[in-house]
Structure 1
Amino acid sequence: MGAVSASANTNLANGATLKDVSSILGANPSYKFMLLVSEAVHETPVYLASQNKLHLPQLAPPPGYLPQLVMDLNKGPPILSEYLSDPPVYAPNGCSNRSIRGGEQRVSLRTLDPETNKSVTLVNNYFGYYFNTIDDLVFNAPTGSPPQLPSVSYRYNTSSGAIFVVDDSIGQPNGIAFNQEGSIVYITDSAAMSTPVDPQYGHPGRTFNATQRRTVYAFDVSGDGTHAYNERPIYMASGFVPDGLEVAANGYIMAGVGQGVDILDPSGQLLLTIQTNYTVQNFAWTGPELKALWLWELVGQELR
């Protein structure tokens, strides 16, 4: 299998025009290296507009490492420091039973109040079955309980505490986002990160099968919010699996797709790619007008 470029020369436009690109990026877009972080920094960034701070999760290594990171954007340049909630939350990215055995901390859905620093567990099981993972982390069976559930997408009712299965058709559900009206939910499938056709491609330690699904799907949401239906694929990433997913105020869909971020219109047409020379899994808007987009490199997960 020869080398495949996701940015090869072409004489044919892909639908987007320079006018489309300019309207998204503005007249003078800039790209800057900001801070060096450890290889344990992962996804699920959360921007707190009330504090103008960006929270970043850290995963192991080292095993059992609890402090997370917070970036204070009120200073110039930004200040990066450690942050520890009460009680501490291990690997707040969706979690994994990788290094903490089941008796100490289970994969769970939690809330964290940034004003009081208190964390609360909302749910950690589905009718007594422990979640394998929440989000997209790898499950390590030797250090946790065996997988008890298939890969499905859930809806959690914050009022009643009830959990609903809304879809079980996606091989590896990953990123998830709603449109502004809440009438459409987008879910990414990263099933291509399994069963390699050619092991030389993809992440070191991760396999990539170009014939498997690396797709963004759209579902309509029922009026009462309990069901997702009318599934349709709207975009297949070219170079790697779509991971983190966000929807902008204007309806544009953004997906971390390996070496960059793809920006799509609501129908799934690719408008532009913010290319990077490192792996982007997730990202966050910051600032009073949400015009700054933060991305970071996942050291040790470089795409070849």
Structure 2
Amino acid sequence: MYSYLNPLPPLMNGTLAKWAYVSLAALATLPGQFNRSAMEAPWATTDISDSRLSRTLEYLNTTDFVAYDQRFFDILGPNATIEHVQKLAFQSHEAPCYLKDTNQLFFTEWGPPGGENGTHSWQYLLDLDTNKLNKITTDPPTFNAHGCVVYNHSLYVVTDGHGDEQTGQLVKIDPRSLKQETLLNNYLVQPFGGFNDLEIDWDGNFYLTDSKSGWGREIVDFTPPTSPTVYFVERETFRIKPVHITDGNANGVAISPAGDILYVPDTGVSQYFPVAKTPYGKRELWAFDISKSGSVLSNKRLLSNPVSYFYDGVRVSRKGRIFCGAGDGVDVIDPESGFTLGTIRVGGGDNLAVSLTFGRNDLWIVGRGGVWHVRDIRERLDRDW
């Protein structure tokens, strides 16, 4: 057995996937010299003087699932596996949505160096029965899609906009006809800086994150009119108001199953001009209480700061577990304590988990390097709406 690891529970022995169970108590005091950046996973570092620790980290870098807590085994179960189903360019892939009606995965390629000077007028639709990948173009075209949620059998997508011609938009797409309808493109005549992601509550109201990401990657030409902002949009009236403003960056957004808590990762760690990342920037996951109207957030508290990298796409499962794209993989976070229960890894190297979407007992991860499918998860993930 490797040092610094707990033995796997008996039920997890002989699994198809490669598991490890980290002993946090054993890691509490380490011998010799050690160092890593906050931007890299613990097992990616080579700056280690102790050979036992080095061998353990090398092993962890070969695993599929890394557990920090017994509950992680209960969530995924012994039959869970992960497969790299689409190997694509080491480029950001975003906005995954699982279409239950047609068993397809919608997602996008985002930003430079791909597309036409970083601009994308098309999206991907992956047939999950055949693993055939198709490029699609909506009618009219949807430019620079960045986030997606399925609601009432339709795709709701947010975009960065297009050059100096088009501000960020919230659009509705019929997944069968690919007809697209613009629902929102301004806040009382003020353009958006460029949307990053969205969430929809039980009643169909929207939470939209307006960020500086599109501007920083020169997808849009105009300087953002405000600091990154989370907007609430009332579905019936399209009344809109800011509910959170940050001097970092607004990225993913997700709501609890009961609809009473909103989770927002702040990714000010990503600088804009020049594009760079610094471990001294914001990379927190915040939780807010939601008012009965949905339009007021209160009781802001720091729920988690990632073990490494930063939280990008975030989704909440049926039982309230928080799943976050976090560089080396997807971190699964306990909503009460904020502790990371475990990580679903995408293989290390240049691969990077960006965002994810749920099926019933499956999840799909998109990011740099393509698409990964995690199947046969014990706990049901998809929500009721």
TM-score interval w.r.t. the shorter chain? 0.7 to 0.9
Query: Could you tell me which amino acid in structure 1 is paired with residue 94 of structure 2?
Result: E
Q: Would you identify which runs of 4 or more consecutive aligned residues in structure 1 move more than 4 Å?
A: 8-11, 140-143
Task: Determine if contact 2:41/2:328 at 8 Å carries over to the other structure.
Answer: no
> Mapping of 1:64-103 within 5 angstroms?
64-75=119-130, 78-93=131-146, 94-97=158-161, 100-103=162-165
Task: Determine if contact 1:237/1:257 at 8 Å carries over to the other structure.
Answer: yes
1:23 lines up with 2:78 in the alignment: no
Q: 1:118 aligns with which of 156, 159, 179?
A: 179
Q: Which structure has greater helix proportion?
A: 2
Task: Determine if contact 1:41/1:56 at 8 Å carries over to the other structure.
Answer: no
> Mapping of 1:31-46 within 5 angstroms?
31-39=82-90, 42-46=93-97
Query: Which stretch shifts more, 206-215 or 260-269?
Result: 206-215
Query: Could you tell me which amino acid in structure 1 is paired with residue 356 of structure 2?
Result: F
Larger radius of gyration: 2
Task: Determine if contact 1:156/1:164 at 8 Å carries over to the other structure.
Answer: yes
* 1:221–1:211 Cα change, 3 Å: same
What's the CA shift string for 1:155-203, capped at 9, x where partnerless? 011211111110114621111000001000000000112389xxxxxxx
* Identical-pair percentage: 25
Query: Could you tell me which amino acid in structure 2 is paired with residue 95 of structure 1?
Result: T
Task: Determine if contact 2:41/2:309 at 8 Å carries over to the other structure.
Answer: no
Instruction: Specify every segment of 5 or more residues in structure 1 that has no aligned partner in the other structure, as ranges.
Output: 197-204
What's the CA shift string for 1:240-284, capped at 9, x where partnerless? 111100101111111111111110111211111112311111012
Alignment coverage as a number of residue pairs:
281
Query: Could you tell me which amino acid in structure 2 is paired with residue 166 of structure 1?
Result: V
Task: Determine if contact 1:280/1:298 at 8 Å carries over to the other structure.
Answer: yes
Q: Which structure has greater strand proportion?
A: 2
* 1:241–1:220 Cα change, 3 Å: same
Question: What is the RMSD of the two structures over their aligned residues, measured on CA atoms?
Answer: 2.8
Q: Hey, what does 1:201 align to over in structure 2?
A: none
What's the CA shift string for 1:2-40, capped at 9, x where partnerless? 5436325599xx9943x3121112112212221222445
Q: Hey, what does 2:373 align to over in structure 1?
A: none
Q: CA–CA distance in 1 between the matches of 2:267 and 2:92?
A: 20
Partner of 1:139, secondary structure, is: helix
Q: CA–CA distance in 1 between the matches of 2:220 and 2:277?
A: 25
1:129 lines up with 2:198 in the alignment: no
Higher relative contact order (CA 8 A, sep 6+): 2
Partner of 2:276, secondary structure, is: coil
1:233 lines up with 2:288 in the alignment: no
Task: Determine if contact 1:152/1:170 at 8 Å carries over to the other structure.
Answer: no
Q: 1:144 aligns with which of 211, 221, 242?
A: 221
* 1:65–1:191 Cα change, 3 Å: closer
Q: TM-score, normalising length from structure 2?
A: 0.67
Q: Hey, what does 1:175 align to over in structure 2?
A: 252
